[in-house]
């Protein structure tokens, strides 16, 4: 588990600047397999079957609820595309990277 995965999300109601592209790229180095696409943090997780996919989605829903930071999910039979960005600032914040790390930790279980 990375140090990011041990952190908690801080409430973000706006009023702060999103990460600059250089800051986001520096944070991205702490994650594996994630990319920045259109200013959003994105990763595709693959599974063996629909049951495993939905189990992951349900577990991620709980993590998202606990962190009060919710991704966009695109769910298929054996894959889930996870997209994070901070809506309140229309860009990336530390919360996105924290949740991405928690998502990876969940997938590793």
Specify whether the CB–CB gap between 86 and 97 falls below 8 A.
Answer: no
pLDDT of residue 1: 52
Predicted TM-score (pTM) of the model is: 0.93
Domains assigned to the chain: 34-109 (3.30.1360.20)
Q: Which residues contact 43 (CB under 8 A, 6 or more apart)?
A: 33, 34, 35, 81, 82, 100, 103, 104
In this predicted model, what pLDDT tens digit does every residue of 9-64 receive, in sequence order?
988 777 789 999 999 999 999 999 999 999 999 999 999 999 999 999 999 999 99
């Amino acid at each position: 588990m990375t140090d990011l995965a041990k952190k908690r999300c801080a409430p973000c109601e706006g009023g702060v600047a999103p990460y600059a592209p250089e800051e986001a790229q520096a944070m991205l180095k702490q994650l594996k397999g994630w990319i920045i696409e259109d200013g959003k943090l994105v990763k595709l997780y693959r599974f063996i079957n629909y049951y495993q996919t939905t189990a992951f989605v349900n577990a991620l829903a709980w993590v998202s609820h606990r962190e009060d930071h919710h991704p966009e999910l695109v769910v298929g039979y054996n894959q889930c595309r996870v997209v994070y960005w901070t809506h309140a600032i229309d860009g990336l914040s530390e919360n996105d990277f924290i949740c991405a790390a928690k998502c990876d930790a969940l997938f590793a279980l």
